[in-house]
Structure 1
Amino acid sequence: MDKSMIIGIVAGAVAVTAVGGFAGYKAMKGADYAEVISAKEVTEKVRTPRKECSDVAVTHQAPVKDEHRIAGTAIGAVLGGVLGNQVGGGKGKTLATVAGAAGGGYTGNKVQQNMQESDQVTGTERRCKTVYDSSTKTLGYDVTYRLNDKQGVVRMDHNPGQRIPVRNGQLELTSTGANSPS
């Protein structure tokens, strides 16, 4: 064997040993990334209450000053008596005056009652109600991944994309609520 052939064999052996050693180191070390199979956004509906108010025109019956309708009864009685006094003579006149006063008093009472019931006052009232605004809040992402031929699921605070970094055989997660790989 000549010298160049020996050098070639030794160089080849060194190269094979170096490549094999590096490959063995990588195999022992494990993967640098876990492959992401899917990332599903996890959300919840949030309903936030708030008060909504508006001014509304409201019509009420006006306050009654003469609750027993004395003024209407009295004015009706006087007018009915005056009209009744115009009819007949003698005892008939007296009877017509009394009947006119009684009828006029009743009619005056009813006229005042109708006027009081139709007397309306319009004002403004503030009316409020509770309404709900809806929004969607993202809780995180349920990520299904594959690491060294094993599949697992973990909750992350962000969508990791196509892969998750791995250090010392563990996923590197930034979410404080992350589950350990299964």
Structure 2
Amino acid sequence: MLAGGGAIAAYQAYSTPYAEVVSATPITEKEPIYGDVVASNAITEMRTGERQVCTEREVEKRRAERFGDKDGMVVGAVVGGLLGNQVGKGDGRKLATVAGAVGGAYAGREIDRRHQGGQKYTEVEQVCETVTEPREEIVGYDVTYRSEGELGSMRVDRKPGAQVLLGERDRIVGYDVTWRYEGQTGQLVMDEDPGDRLPVADGVIAVAGKDTPPKG
């Protein structure tokens, strides 16, 4: 019994001590979730739209006249006045001159107004108009995808490539660990879940090659 008791005491003396894990909080970061596109079908709708249509047309024009309405009146008044001045004598000549000027101005204006213009010519002009017409438009795509071995479907606005974004999820990148050992507590960051306890070697927490002193 003594030998057995001594063996147990020696085992306890040389066994690895452990610190208690009080808590292990996951450290996370967002990562996108993608699905592999299996098929995609365009969704179309008939809509009314406008577009501009331009054509070139030959337009007939007339070159500008040398005189306008006012010039015709002036020339007519001068000519009429000269002709009237040659008629009669004294006051009669004055009246004839005035009458000739008035009549000549009126005649000159009417001639200009009724005149058909100068030489005709043609020009090519661009004529544009807005046309309203129905047309078929793509408004989205029905996509079938495979993610983690399962098929799914969704609707997207744009034509997908080889993959389609499904959303985001939290990815665990480490753990904030709080431990307790012989009445002392401390914290450390670990890459993996520590479980319920952490090994202590030579009075320090031994984790992933880094020794953390058991100090609170």
State whether TM-score is above 0.5.
no
More strand, by proportion: 2
TM range, smaller chain: 0.3 to 0.5
